[in-house]
Each structure stands twice: as structure tokens, then as C-alpha cells.
């Protein structure tokens, strides 16, 4: 265990020195593999092998689709619809922020894109209306967790790749908990609005306005329905649904909204290539470091402690929550999934959990790292948009962390919250 501790110290040292996460993972992994007397050539083979999978093709497709969506100004339509639907509630734009993230998550599956696109629009708007910066950032960062949970989800695709749990079932299993999490977050928005004693003018509810904005947003709202129904009814695979999302985004941008131009396509492809490269390099780096930990039997020790030492499913889940929250302070959720997904599956199977239920629970828990400093990517992006020091947003984020814990507890106590929909669709 001393070697494992040293590995994490070296990894954190590279991170705090300013190295990108994927480079820190890769250098640390290669360093300890070499010191262990392993062939560098074999390491290179493992590097490329860790990202060589057809199932991972869904990731660049959804990334491209997300970038097309933003260029096609679908986000604007979603915000207008959300404002008409919930902007009149106490909490105003906070509710709009959460609902937009829920719908946006059903389109592109990336929390980073959510924080950037929605935060870029709503954080300045919230500040202009009189909401505090820390409140605006907390809502944005907290609601960004919905995108990797509500399908289609890049995080679920990665978990499926490492565990071979059917991604379609994971998508459907995550839908109800994702919606429940969104509702709880709107509850937090309401309470914060009252506690902070805001008296900010809100949108007046109008059924006519709601119907008009729904009609104008119909093209955008149809996208997640088309993607999910295609997967549910077996018309397309999750990877093919990414292609479908791209085609629909192009159709919407060129023919419906008419805001997309051919000159935008090169920029979309370049941005998508950069984002995808970061994800793939992170997978590669995590794969190399995970190989080191496997050789040291670290994952096996974690599994043994959770299953044999703790013995209780409740204690095992609490243990994993604590472990992933600590790891999430320094590592991106993508890294955690790549390094621990197989271990998590083994723990769940040993404790008698349904693999769909346990997989969804763990992916939700792993997202906590994205809103915890110093590495939390959703928090970092949201703070960057608001020009707010990260430490000032931590306390307002605590209620949103609590909502995740509540959803996990409910899904743990009532497995049907996760298993009902996949069972209904797939039998």
C-alpha cells in the first residue's frame, strides 16, 4: 500500500505543477511501470488498446452533436422554453438553469458543455437580475451534473465500455434518478431564494406564452425524444444514436433555425476533435495507471475491504461514496470511471446488487468530483464564466451535493427507481 500511496502523491504533484490530467496520469503510469521492470513497448500497446473500441465511437459523435447544437442556437430555444415553464416560480432563473440542464443533458451528455453553454448564457443574466455570483455559480455547477446522468450520457458509455453492462439499460436506468435529482435541485433553488430573501422580478406565468415557446422550441425538444426512443425500441444502437444526433442537429441548424452556416463546420470539427482527444487521452492515461494499480492488487484490496471487511451493502456504498468524493477532489470523473468501473461492478455483484442499479448509482456518485475543488471541472468552468474564486462557491454547492446523496440513498433503498424503466422496455 505504500507504493500505491507514493503513486497518488506523484500523480497529485504533477497535477499541482500544472500538467494536464491525462499527461499526469500517463507520466505517472509509465514511470512506475518502468521502475517495476516492465517493457515500455508493451506499455505502448496497452495505451492504444485501452482506447481501441467501437463502443467508444459514441463519444466523438455526441461531442460533435453537442457543438452543432450550440452553433445552431438550440440552447437559446431551450432557455426560452424553460423560462416560460418555470421562470415564474420563486427562484426564477435558478429554476430555468436546472430545467435547461435537464433538457440539454438529453441532447449531448456532457457536463462540461452544459456548464459552458448554459453558464455562459444564464450566469450573466442572473447577475444582471441581482442574484449573487456564488448563488449563480452553485446553481450552474450543481445542475451541470444532470447532463452526465440523464441519457444519452458519455459517463454511462464509458462505464458500459469498462464493465460490459448494456449501455441502453444504463441509459434507461439513469432517467428516473436524473429527473428526480433535477426536481430536488429545484427544491434547493427555491429554499436558497427564500433564505437569501431575494425579491427579484420573475416571469409571469402565461399558458399562451408557454405553448408559443414550446412550439418554437419543438425542434430542439424533439431531439432527446428521437435519440432516446431510437435506443429504447432497438432502432439504433447508442453509437448510431450519436450519428442520428449529428444528422438531426445539422437538419435543425440548416433548415429549421437557419442559424448554422457551412463556414461553421470546420470550427465545429476542430473543437470536437480537441475535446474528443482530451477524453481519449484521459482514457489512455487512466488505462496505463490502472494497469500499475492492478499489478499492485490495489483494486482487489478495495474490493476485498468493501465486500469482506465491511460486509454490509450499506457500509460498502458509504465507503465508496467517501472514496470517490476524496478521489474526485483531484481526479476527473472520467478518470475515476476508467480506473474503478470494473472494481465497482465486482463489488456490486459480490454484494448481490443488480448491475444496472449499482452501475447507475456509482456513475452518479462519481460525478461529485466534478463540483469539488481543486480539480472539479464543472465548478472550474462555472467559476471561470462568473470570474469568481473557486473557494467562494464551495459552501453554496453543499446543498447540491446533498441532493446527490439523497438520490443515491433513495435508489439504494428502492431499486425500482433504477430498474423499473429498463425492465419495462427490455423485459
pLDDT tens per residue across span 277-300: 877 787 777 777 777 777 777 778
Q: How far apart are CA 354 and CA 173, in angstroms?
A: 11
Q: How far apart are CA 292 and CA 198, in angstroms?
A: 52
So what's the pLDDT on residue 36? 67
Q: Which of 320, 344, 333 is nearest to 371 (CA)?
A: 333
- The answer to whether the beta carbons of residues 290 and 30 sit under 8 Å apart is no
pLDDT of 309 higher than 90: no
Nine cell digits for residue 146: 444532470
So what's the pLDDT on residue 45? 61
| Percent of the chain residues topping a pLDDT of 70 | 94
The lowest-confidence range among 111-115, 173-177, 178-182, 247-251 is 111-115
So what's the pLDDT on residue 44? 61
The lowest-confidence range among 99-113, 257-271, 358-372 is 99-113
So what's the pLDDT on residue 1? 66
Does 152 sit behind a cis peptide bond, omega within 30 degrees of 0 on the bond before it? yes
- The answer to whether the beta carbons of residues 88 and 203 sit under 8 Å apart is yes
So what's the pLDDT on residue 26? 80
Helices (H) and strands (E) in the chain, counts: 21, 0
Angle between the N-to-C axes of helices 218-232 and 207-216, in degrees from 0 to 180, rounded to the nearest 10:
70
For the segment 367-402, what is each residue's pLDDT rounded down to a tens digit? 887 888 777 778 888 888 888 888 888 888 899 989
Q: Which residues contact 203 (CB under 8 A, 6 or more apart)?
A: 83, 84, 87, 88, 92
Residue 252's SS3 state is helix
Q: How confident is the model at residue 406 (pLDDT cuts 50, 70, 90)?
A: very high
Q: Which residues contact 360 (CB under 8 A, 6 or more apart)?
A: 156, 170, 173, 174, 177, 411, 418
So what's the pLDDT on residue 403? 93
Angle at alpha carbon of residue 271, lines to 268 and 273, rounded to 5°: 105
Nine cell digits for residue 105: 443533458
For the segment 330-343, what is each residue's pLDDT rounded down to a tens digit? 777 878 888 888 88
So what's the pLDDT on residue 51? 58
| Percent of the chain residues topping a pLDDT of 90 | 9
Q: How confident is the model at residue 47 (pLDDT cuts 50, 70, 90)?
A: low
Residue 153 per-residue DSSP state = -
Give one DSSP letter per residue of 231-286, joined into a string.
Answer: HHTTSS-HHHHHHHHHHHHHHIIIIIS----TTHHHHHHHHHHHHHHHHHHHHHHH
Q: First CA to last CA across the chain, in angstroms? A: 44
For the segment 218-255, what is each residue's pLDDT rounded down to a tens digit? 877 777 777 777 776 777 777 787 788 888 888 888 88
Distance of CA 263 to the CA centre of its chain: 30
Average pLDDT estimate for 185-198: 90
pLDDT of 11 higher than 90: no
Give domain limits for the chain: 2-10+19-426
Average pLDDT for the chain: 82
pLDDT of 168 higher than 80: yes
Put simply, whether the predicted model's pTM sits higher than 0.75 gets the answer: yes
**Identity of the highest mean pLDDT range in 161-165, 220-224, 307-311:** 161-165
The lowest-confidence range among 90-99, 224-233, 318-327 is 224-233
So what's the pLDDT on residue 328? 78
- The answer to whether the beta carbons of residues 58 and 239 sit under 8 Å apart is yes
Amino acid at each position: 500500500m505504500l507504493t500505491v500511496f507514493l503513486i497518488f502523491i506523484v500523480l497529485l504533484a504533477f497535477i499541482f505543477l500544472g500538467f494536464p490530467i491525462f499527461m499526469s496520469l500517463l507520466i505517472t503510469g509509465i514511470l512506475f511501470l518502468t521502475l517495476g521492470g516492465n517493457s515500455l513497448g508493451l506499455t505502448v500497446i496497452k495505451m492504444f488498446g485501452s482506447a481501441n473500441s467501437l463502443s467508444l465511437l459514441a463519444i466523438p459523435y455526441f461531442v460533435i452533436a453537442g457543438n452543432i447544437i450550440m452553433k445552431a442556437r438550440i440552447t437559446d430555444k431551450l432557455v426560452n422554453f424553460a423560462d416560460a415553464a418555470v421562470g415564474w416560480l420563486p427562484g426564477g432563473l435558478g429554476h430555468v438553469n436546472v430545467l435547461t440542464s435537464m433538457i440539454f443533458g438529453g441532447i449531448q451528455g456532457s457536463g462540461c458543455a452544459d456548464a459552458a453553454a448554459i453558464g455562459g448564457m444564464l450566469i450573466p443574466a442572473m447577475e444582471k437580475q441581482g442574484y449573487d455570483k456564488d448563488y449563480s455559480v452553485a446553481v450552474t455547477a450543481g445542475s451541470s451534473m444532470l447532463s452526465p446522468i440523464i441519457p444519452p450520457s458519455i459517463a454511462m458509455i464509458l462505464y458500459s465500455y469498462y464493465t460490459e453492462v448494456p449501455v441502453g439499460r444504463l441509459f434507461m436506468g439513469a432517467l428516473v434518478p436524473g429527473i428526480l435529482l433535477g426536481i430536488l435541485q429545484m427544491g434547493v433553488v427555491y429554499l436558497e431564494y427564500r433564505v437569501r430573501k431575494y425579491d427579484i422580478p420573475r416571469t409571469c406565468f402565461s399558458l399562451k406564452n408557454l405553448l408559443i415557446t414550446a412550439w418554437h422550441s419543438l425542434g430542439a425538444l424533439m431531439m432527446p425524444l428521437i435519440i432516446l426512443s431510437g435506443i429504447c425500441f432497438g432502432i439504433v444502437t447508442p453509437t448510431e444514436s450519436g450519428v442520428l444526433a449529428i444528422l438531426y442537429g445539422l437538419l435543425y441548424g440548416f433548415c429549421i433555425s437557419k442559424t448554422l452556416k457551412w463556414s461553421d463546420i470546420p470550427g465545429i470539427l476542430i473543437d470536437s476533435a480537441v475535446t474528443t482527444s482530451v477524453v481519449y487521452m484521459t482514457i489512455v492515461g487512466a488505462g496505463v495507471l490502472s494497469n500499475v494499480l492492478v499489478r499492485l492488487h490495489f483494486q482487489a484490496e478495495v474490493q476485498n475491504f468493501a465486500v469482506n471487511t465491511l460486509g454490509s451493502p450499506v457500509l460498502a456504498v458509504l465507503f465508496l461514496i467517501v472514496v470517490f468524493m476524496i478521489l474526485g477532489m483531484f481526479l476527473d470523473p472520467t478518470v475515476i470511471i476508467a480506473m474503478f468501473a470494473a472494481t465497482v461492478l465486482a463489488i456490486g455483484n459480490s454484494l448481490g446488487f443488480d448491475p444496472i442499479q449499482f452501475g447507475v448509482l456509482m456513475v452518479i456518485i462519481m460525478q461529485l468530483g466534478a463540483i469539488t475543488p481543486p480539480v472539479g471541472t464543472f465548478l472550474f468552468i462555472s467559476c471561470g464564466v462568473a470570474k469568481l474564486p473557486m473557494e467562494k462557491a464551495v459552501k453554496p454547492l453543499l446543498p447540491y451535493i446533498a441532493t446527490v446523496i439523497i438520490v443515491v440513498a433513495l435508489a439504494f433503498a428502492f431499486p425500482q427507481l433504477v430498474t423499473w424503466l429498463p425492465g419495462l422496455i427490455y423485459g
